Structure 1
Amino acid sequence: MSAILRNWFGFFLLGAINNLPYVIVNSAANTIADSFGEKNNVGLVFGANVALAAVVKSLNTFFLLKVSFTIRYVVNGCLMLLGLFGVAYAFSFWFALLCIVVSGSSAAFGENVTLGFLSRFPSKLVNAWSSGTGMAGLLGATIYIIFGCTVSDKDENKTDHLKHLTKYAFLLTTPVVLLYWVAYFLVIRVPVSQAPQSVNEESDESRPILKSDSGGYEVDEIDNSSVQSIEHRESELKRIWRCLKLVSWLALNLCAVYVFEYVARGCAAKARPSTEYNIGCPELYAALQLCYQAGVFVSRSSVQMFIIKRVDILSLLQLINMVVWIVDVHYKFLPVAVLPAFMVYVGLLGGASYVNIFYLLLHGNKFPSEDRELCINIVGLSITLGIIIGTGLETLLFNTLLAND
């Protein structure tokens, strides 16, 4: 197996496994809440899944970049296991929420760590990671639909049945953490750097990975003396501010896309009453979420075929999507048969924005090699900000303009 193919497979595994617990929680949020008799508090499950995302991403961005990737991957795998076992054996709804906070934090932390790790590899490997995260979405949504088909509302022991489904679903997911570590320790091979070690690096592992001509990569030249000069005269706060200005346009667009798509996805919950679609179809919301994840998977796997530099166009198109979904919730003017394809389109735009923005961060010459990991982590924070704003806007709309729809 060639080094490139091996690394592609390794990053695909990291993406699929890192996001799988997060997606399963979101996809089975209704099942988890209902199993504890808390059907009206489904929103708390979603909230718990992102409750500390900004905190752990900020921790990684501003305090842990000099900690070895090995330590961060080991710790993150342990957090993943803790969250999965906790949800499986939760004895109350509030304890389950606490464990979901841990599980969601693991996904957020692992995302920023891996995107930073990718700065040491050929930039197109971001396609492997993003494709893996898209696969996680497909798997999680499929699991939710399977769960929905195995429990009947007329089941006298419905609550107990749901608890058993939740327990075994999360327990059966725990072995993938071993694959997570296998992908990092055994599958992925870091390209050998030919550049001198910079003043802040203590081992080969933390050395920036440059693309060598012998390996078919381009060489990013670093003036080591200028790097040291910048480090001596620039405080860490000034460095962060400089990088923030460098990535502000990309961060703004990624944040906006997440705001618009989370509102659009939320509108699917009020798209149509059950009397208006085929009763043999899975619950419409779950089916539409599967369509969304299918679109995400395809577009997050697309950067090796074509690259989109005008990411602002994707943001604009997603804004139009959001407006159409909001209007449709109120007027119900779109045919039901069109909704699945329209939701695939939402996923296509969201996934394309994600993978192309991080490709530009990894590939663009305007981002200094010594600052690339910090720049990537700052943009990664915009994802969490977009999710928080999007879910907040959705909640506001559902309690005001769309309250009776």
Structure 2
Amino acid sequence: MGGCAGSRRRLLDSEGEETAPEPRSPLLDRPGALWKNAVGFWLLGLCNNFSYVVMLSAAHDILSRQRASGNQSHVDPDPAPTTHNSSSRFDCNSVSTAAVLLADILPTLVIKLLAPLGLHLLPYSPRVLVSGLCCAGSFILVAFSHSVGTSLCGVVLASISSGLGEVTFLSLTAFYPSYFFLLTSPEPQDPGGEEEAETSARQPLIGSEAPEAKPASSPNLSLWERWTVFKGLLWYIVPLVLVYFAEYFINQGLFELLFFRNTSLTHAQQYRWYQMLYQAGVFVSRSSLRCCQIRFTWVLALLQCFNLAFLLADVWLNFLPSIYLVFLIILYEGLLGGAAYVNTFHNIALEMSDEHREFAMAAACISDTLGISLSGLLALPLHDFLCHLS
């Protein structure tokens, strides 16, 4: 890819002497600006994923509302483990938790498919505002709903919030020396270009005197240039699609079926522990890029697919003797998933040219959503098939 971030250019006068470089942006000269930006993006990512993660973690409880009598809105958070499909050896809900996954991911998929085509025309401020309102609305709907349908509408709002926020914040990282979830910085840019990018990126967020100003790079790319850049991204996109397909097939297709009866934990409690351990692994690995950087993310894709095959075999053959072994595997699964995500975008940020970086960051985030959507579509029939086994 044409020059990601080369060495700082030096301007020579007619006598061959170096002239003083243009002053850096005050935003970068302030003490601690690098870490302030890093922590800021870390918090943005944490808040953006919050509603999405909560909805998936509560998927088993949301679907259990189907068994609540009448209009009773309260569902016992720790119901006794009963078999809802008596003809099956599994303890199944009538609807797979993959239904919640699809409600939580398909709106995000639509947003990410459309984002590279024209979302850059909208300033950052309205995007962040809409994302925040959808997040708040999602919790209100789910908290006060009396039916699965209303709860799923709240899940859809959480999906819109997460998808719009992710595209927005990832695009914004293209103009800062600190990247998403403590990504390491690329080489220094040309000081003039860096200052212009800083100003353009911040203006829509803080409402300066020229709110209509936008980054001058990606919006000027032709359709053919965008397609060329996207084809170059496939090396990064395909492994991440596989990683997310495997892990969410596990999370929403197999977690519900990995039920251990020889433990004090109820089925709902086991499901929550699975989700918590997975998210803990993701949180740690996404926040640790400065400690461990992985160039070849396809290795992570192969390891995650092996996790899927192993746990699918256990669901079918029931050979793991203890739930604690499953706990360890799920924690490891989360570590792989988070590492794949953060290293993919780190590699893109380093290898894309300045003019392509904003578009590339926005376009590449389709990969995790595509993998999750495919896993949800396949997990639904798998759930029905396994739950009807006698």
Taking structure 1 as the reference length, the TM-score comes to 0.70
Distance 1:283 1:75, change over 3 A: closer
2:306 equivalent to 1:320 = yes
CA contact (8 A) 1:11 1:129 kept: no
In structure 2, how many angstroms separate the alpha carbons of the residues matched to 1:76 and 1:320? 35
In structure 2, how many angstroms separate the alpha carbons of the residues matched to 1:242 and 1:267? 38
Question: Who is 2:59 aligned against?
Answer: 29
CA contact (8 A) 2:183 2:289 kept: no
In structure 2, how many angstroms separate the alpha carbons of the residues matched to 1:247 and 1:306? 22
Q: Which has the higher contact order (CA 8 A, sep 6+)?
A: 2
Question: Who is 1:3 aligned against?
Answer: 33
Single out whichever of 27-36 and 111-120 deviates more from structure 2: 27-36
Q: Once the 2 structures are TM-superposed, how far is the Cα of residue 321 of structure 1 from its aligned partner?
A: 0.9
Letter in 1 for 2:181: N
Distance 1:202 1:66, change over 3 A: farther
CA contact (8 A) 1:243 1:375 kept: yes
In structure 2, how many angstroms separate the alpha carbons of the residues matched to 1:369 and 1:114? 17
In structure 1, how many angstroms separate the alpha carbons of the residues matched to 2:107 and 2:272? 26
In structure 2, how many angstroms separate the alpha carbons of the residues matched to 1:56 and 1:98? 17
Residue by residue over 1:354-379, the C-alpha shift from the partner in whole angstroms, topping out at 9 and shown as x without a partner, is: 01001111112xx2211112111221
CA contact (8 A) 1:60 1:113 kept: no
CA contact (8 A) 1:87 1:96 kept: yes
CA contact (8 A) 1:15 1:129 kept: no
2:199 equivalent to 1:195 = no
* Number of positions where the alignment pairs a residue of Structure 1 with one of Structure 2: 317
2:117 equivalent to 1:62 = yes
Q: Once the 2 structures are TM-superposed, how far is the Cα of residue 254 of structure 1 from its aligned partner?
A: 0.6
Residue by residue over 1:36-82, the C-alpha shift from the partner in whole angstroms, topping out at 9 and shown as x without a partner, is: 64763454333221231111122322211132222221222222223
2:47 equivalent to 1:17 = yes
CA contact (8 A) 2:182 2:288 kept: no
2:354 equivalent to 1:369 = yes
Question: Who is 2:290 aligned against?
Answer: 304
In structure 2, how many angstroms separate the alpha carbons of the residues matched to 1:283 and 1:66? 45
Distance 1:401 1:75, change over 3 A: closer
Q: 1:205 aligns with which of 194, 201, 205?
A: 201
In structure 2, how many angstroms separate the alpha carbons of the residues matched to 1:345 and 1:312? 16
What SS class does the counterpart of residue 40 from structure 1 fall into?
coil
Q: Once the 2 structures are TM-superposed, how far is the Cα of residue 92 of structure 1 from its aligned partner?
A: 4.2
2:280 equivalent to 1:294 = yes
Identity of aligned residues (%): 29
In structure 2, how many angstroms separate the alpha carbons of the residues matched to 1:250 and 1:13? 25
For structure 2, the residue ranges without an aligned partner over 5 or more in a row are 1-30, 69-92, 204-215
RMSD: 3.1
2:271 equivalent to 1:271 = no
Distance 1:285 1:86, change over 3 A: closer
CA contact (8 A) 1:268 1:288 kept: yes
2:366 equivalent to 1:381 = yes
2:384 equivalent to 1:399 = yes
In structure 2, how many angstroms separate the alpha carbons of the residues matched to 1:359 and 1:94? 39
Distance 1:300 1:66, change over 3 A: same
Q: Once the 2 structures are TM-superposed, how far is the Cα of residue 330 of structure 1 from its aligned partner?
A: 0.9
CA contact (8 A) 2:175 2:194 kept: no
Distance 1:375 1:196, change over 3 A: closer
Question: Who is 2:180 aligned against?
Answer: 126
What SS class does the counterpart of residue 289 from structure 1 fall into?
helix
Single out whichever of 85-94 and 262-271 deviates more from structure 2: 85-94
For structure 1, the residue ranges without an aligned partner over 5 or more in a row are 131-190, 208-223
Letter in 1 for 2:308: M
In structure 2, how many angstroms separate the alpha carbons of the residues matched to 1:66 and 1:73? 14
Letter in 2 for 1:286: R
In structure 1, how many angstroms separate the alpha carbons of the residues matched to 2:307 and 2:194? 49
Distance 1:310 1:20, change over 3 A: same
Distance 1:251 1:94, change over 3 A: same
Letter in 2 for 1:76: S
Taking structure 2 as the reference length, the TM-score comes to 0.73
Distance 1:375 1:40, change over 3 A: same
Q: 2:245 aligns with which of 259, 263, 268?
A: 259
Residue by residue over 1:322-357, the C-alpha shift from the partner in whole angstroms, topping out at 9 and shown as x without a partner, is: 110111111112231311111111111111100100
Considering fraction of residues, name the structure with more helix: 1
In structure 1, how many angstroms separate the alpha carbons of the residues matched to 2:198 and 2:248? 41
What SS class does the counterpart of residue 99 from structure 1 fall into?
helix
What SS class does the counterpart of residue 40 from structure 2 fall into?
helix
2:342 equivalent to 1:344 = no
In structure 2, how many angstroms separate the alpha carbons of the residues matched to 1:302 and 1:128? 7
Letter in 2 for 1:326: L
2:350 equivalent to 1:354 = no
In structure 2, how many angstroms separate the alpha carbons of the residues matched to 1:282 and 1:91? 19
In structure 2, how many angstroms separate the alpha carbons of the residues matched to 1:271 and 1:37? 21
Q: Once the 2 structures are TM-superposed, how far is the Cα of residue 280 of structure 1 from its aligned partner?
A: 7.9
In structure 2, how many angstroms separate the alpha carbons of the residues matched to 1:53 and 1:66? 19
Distance 1:79 1:308, change over 3 A: same
CA contact (8 A) 1:25 1:100 kept: yes
Q: Once the 2 structures are TM-superposed, how far is the Cα of residue 15 of structure 1 from its aligned partner?
A: 1.3
Distance 1:287 1:58, change over 3 A: same
In structure 2, how many angstroms separate the alpha carbons of the residues matched to 1:350 and 1:377? 19
Q: 2:230 aligns with which of 237, 241, 244?
A: 244
Q: Once the 2 structures are TM-superposed, how far is the Cα of residue 196 of structure 1 from its aligned partner?
A: 8.2
Question: Who is 1:143 aligned against?
Answer: none
In structure 2, how many angstroms separate the alpha carbons of the residues matched to 1:196 and 1:113? 19
